[in-house]
A = this chain, B = another copy of it.
């Protein structure tokens, strides 16, 4: 497919990111509404978005991951139960034709947690497949992958197979606590940071430290400090938000420690700034982390759908 144009997209609940690609190069990108915001069928919502690309290049192949394959998405691509070898993700893609263009949608993955809860992912499996394509060394041995986000995923990879994974509500909880809780409605005068970058670093580091404090296993008992340190100690809003982020990421990482076998390193796949925060919390627990760009992994994973 080196010379051919195609469209690659991660269609999540809250947004759509589409790229016009040729080979492994991204020529153009655009954003659209998430699956959760659609009032018309997904195929109809997509048509006007890609009309310009189609006019220029004809009916282009469309490769999608994420909620596009959910029951309320474009067409349902059922979950693959773990263990799943992601080097064969393309073989399990849902394929059909729309407006004379071939479409492939990644299936999601499902598993059972240690506690018996079912767990699911949609979109992250394509990032993991992309990480395997870009870094074939990940296909040998055991690795623990961390994909930070609204719903952070921790996945065990063994010889290229996803064995199991667990979802942490870290990002969603951060956004809720920031926007809707009493924690950030604290300082009446709206104290601002003296130095935003210093306050941000200090707050985050204090948060991961408090989350890791021995004998205190409960996030619930630390959260009120986000409010009281503003109200009583005069900490800035910037400091408090970073402290909240540190508490949540630190708790997430600390809860994931039992997932690590001795000597396992972590591979963090996501947005650069968030990757760095997770890597920092992992180092605090003595775990080495390497970081991969989530968008590049998603694109590489989508390419594997086509190549199969």
A interface residues with partner B (beta carbon < 8 Å): 13, 71-72, 110, 113-115, 117-120, 151, 154, 166-170, 172-173, 176-177, 180-183, 188, 210, 213, 215-225, 228-229, 231-233, 248, 251-252, 254-256, 258
10 A-B pairs besides A71-B188, A218-B251 with CB distance below 8 A are: A13-B182, A115-B213, A117-B222, A118-B232, A120-B232, A167-B221, A167-B228, A168-B218, A168-B223, A169-B223
Give complex CA distance A176, B184 in Å.
Answer: 14
Taking a contact as CB atoms closer than 8 A, the residue among B167, B216, B251 that contacts A224 in the complex is B167
Question: Which chain B positions have C-beta within 8 A of A154?
Answer: 221
CB distance A255 to B117 under 8 Å? no
Contact flag A115-B210 (CB < 8 Å), given A224-B151, A252-B220, A255-B216: yes
Question: Which chain B positions have C-beta within 8 A of A172?
Answer: 181-182
Question: Which chain B positions have C-beta within 8 A of A115?
Answer: 210, 213, 216, 222, 225
CB distance B224 to A168 under 8 Å? yes
Contact flag A168-B221 (CB < 8 Å), given A216-B114, A216-B255, A231-B120: yes
Q: Closest 5 interchain pairs by CB?
A: A218-B255, A117-B225, A118-B232, A167-B224, A168-B220
Residue of B at shortest CB range from A118? B232
CB distance A176 to B181 under 8 Å? yes
A32 to chain B, nearest CB (A): 21
Question: Which chain B positions have C-beta within 8 A of A170?
Answer: 220
Give complex CA distance A182, B151 in Å.
Answer: 10
CB distance B218 to A119 under 8 Å? no
CB distance A256 to B224 under 8 Å? no
Give complex CA distance A60, B172 in Å.
Answer: 49
17 cross-chain CB contacts under 8 A: A13-B182, A110-B232, A113-B225, A115-B216, A115-B225, A117-B224, A117-B225, A118-B228, A119-B228, A120-B232, A168-B224, A173-B223, A180-B180, A218-B255, A219-B255, A220-B251, A221-B255
Residue of B at shortest CB range from A232? B118
Give complex CA distance A222, B118 in Å.
Answer: 11
A179 to chain B, nearest CB (A): 9
Taking a contact as CB atoms closer than 8 A, the residue among B72, B181, B228, B255 that contacts A120 in the complex is B228
Residue of B at shortest CB range from A119? B228
A2 to chain B, nearest CB (A): 40
